[in-house]
Amino acid sequence: MEPIYYDIHCHLAEFADNEIEQMMTSMPNLKVVAVSDDIRSLNRVLDLASRYQGRVFPCAGFHPWSLKDHQLEEAWQVIRLAERAGVVCINYRVHGLRRSGEQEE
């Protein structure tokens, strides 16, 4: 029996269609939890999940700064289409922020 490989946090929407096709063809036992970080990437993830049923599993996630251009209601409507919800988080290091009690380096 062939092993099944899982990628449980992949930004698959960032890959070109031909790269995804090559990935799926070369690794027939690959299953991917495809995460989003904004509405555009979630729509792409939902499309990929439809194309690769049983292999790509959509996970809705939003970075807080990605919602500034979208209405929260629109985000909730799209999230309801996904099978899973991801973490909505702030990337402290990327944005130069500090967590409560964290010392400056």
- pLDDT tens track for 44-75: 999 999 999 999 999 887 776 666 655 667 77
Question: Torsion angle, CA of 18/11/62/78, rounded to 10 degrees?
Answer: 40
pLDDT digits 0-9 by tens, 69-87: 556 677 777 677 666 655 5
- Helix, strand, or coil (residue 12): helix
Please report the beta strands in 1-92, taking only residues with DSSP state E, as ranges in sequence order.
Answer: 5-10, 30-35, 56-60, 84-85
Q: Output the pTM of the full model.
A: 0.71
- Greater model confidence, 15 or 85: 15
The token duo for 23 is: 């990935």
Q: What is the pLDDT of residue 23?
A: 96
